[in-house]
């Protein structure tokens, strides 16, 4: 993590080792996580336009990570931090892996159940596209305050992720965001667009034109 340097990645500042612990020092990101912001007693679910502002930055961070050969493996609202200006910082690289690392790492079930891609659950090999699936789950999380299958216990949810053609897309979503999600939820990981391609999706492009900066719509 200390070699990563991008505006949408939380900065590693150093470490402190004691007799029994290793403390990692990271930059302070004052607004906390998106998962905390969307709680009902705070901002609540985001409108599609605001979710687009944050998801675009998540994808910018993933473009950089994937170019470095790093798979995050745990994209979700709790691991997306924001500054008071609305700048996104991807955090928690505890389960991240390099694409060049041994198969024992890429064929293990790692992540958080409701955001897991089917190939991760089936242990057929994690890949950069596995992060894209998790982005789709995070979009639904931001718009509804919970990821797909959240009404189920973790094990039944994992079964449904593998068995269903795609996770259920809630009614009332715009055609643009529905199409974005269907692309993220391609069952075959090879068919999923990469982060750079998704940045050009009409949902994000239209929202970018409508909102000049995150500062104007940043929830507090």
Is the residue at 14 inside a domain?
no
If one counts the domains in the chain, the total is: 1
Within its chain, how far is the Cα of 157 from the centroid?
A: 18
CATH code at position 125: 1.10.510.10
Is the residue at 158 inside a domain?
yes
What pLDDT score was predicted for residue 214? Answer: 52
Is the residue at 19 inside a domain?
no
Residue appearing with tokens 């305050």: 145
Is the residue at 78 inside a domain?
yes
Is 92 among the residues known to form the active site?
A: no
Is the residue at 10 inside a domain?
no
Is the residue at 17 inside a domain?
no
Question: Rounded distance, CA 135 to CA 128, Å?
Answer: 11
**What is the 3-state composition of the chain as percent helix, strand, coil, each rounded to the nearest 5?**
45, 10, 45
What pLDDT score was predicted for residue 133? Answer: 98
Is the residue at 5 inside a domain?
no
What pLDDT score was predicted for residue 25? Answer: 73
What pLDDT score was predicted for residue 216? Answer: 47
Q: What angle (nearest 5°) sits at the alpha carbon of residue 138, between those of residues 136 and 140?
A: 75
pTM assigned to the model: 0.87
Note down the domain range covering 82.
Answer: 30-216
Question: Rounded distance, CA 40 to CA 43, Å?
Answer: 7
- pLDDT tens digits in sequence order for the chain, 220 residues long: 567 889 999 987 666 787 877 777 778 788 999 999 999 888 999 999 999 999 999 999 999 999 999 999 999 999 999 999 999 999 986 545 665 544 444 455 556 899 999 999 998 888 999 999 999 999 999 999 999 999 999 999 999 999 999 999 999 999 999 999 999 999 999 999 999 999 999 999 998 777 655 554 566 5
Is the residue at 103 inside a domain?
yes
Active-site residue identified among 74, 103, 131, 164? 74
Q: What is the 3-state secondary structure (H, E, C) of 187-209?
A: CCHHHCCCHHHHCCCHHHHHHHH
What pLDDT score was predicted for residue 108? Answer: 54
- Token readout for 66 is 């994937």
């Amino acid at each position: 993590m200390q070699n990563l340097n991008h505006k949408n990645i939380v900065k590693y500042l150093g470490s402190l080792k004691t007799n029994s612990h290793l403390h990692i020092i990271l930059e302070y990101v004052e607004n906390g996580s998106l998962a905390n912001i969307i709680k009902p007693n705070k901002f609540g679910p985001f409108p599609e336009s605001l979710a687009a502002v944050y998801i675009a930055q998540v994808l910018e961070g993933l473009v950089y990570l994937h170019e470095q050969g790093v798979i995050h493996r745990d994209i979700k609202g709790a691991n997306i931090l924001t500054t008071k200006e609305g700048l996104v910082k991807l955090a928690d690289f505890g389960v991240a892996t390099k694409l060049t690392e041994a198969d024992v790492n890429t064929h293990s079930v790692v992540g958080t159940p409701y955001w897991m891609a089917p190939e991760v659950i089936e242990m057929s090999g994690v890949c950069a596209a596995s992060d894209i699936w998790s982005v789709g789950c995070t979009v639904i999380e931001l718009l509804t305050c919970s990821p797909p299958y959240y009404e189920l216990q973790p094990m039944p949810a994992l079964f449904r992720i593998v068995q269903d053609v795609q996770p259920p897309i809630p009614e009332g979503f715009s055609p643009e965001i529905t199409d974005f999600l269907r692309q993220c939820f391609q069952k075959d990981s090879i068919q999923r667009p990469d982060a750079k391609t998704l940045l050009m999706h009409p949902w994000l492009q239209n929202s970018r034109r409508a909102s000049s900066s995150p500062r104007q719509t940043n929830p507090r």
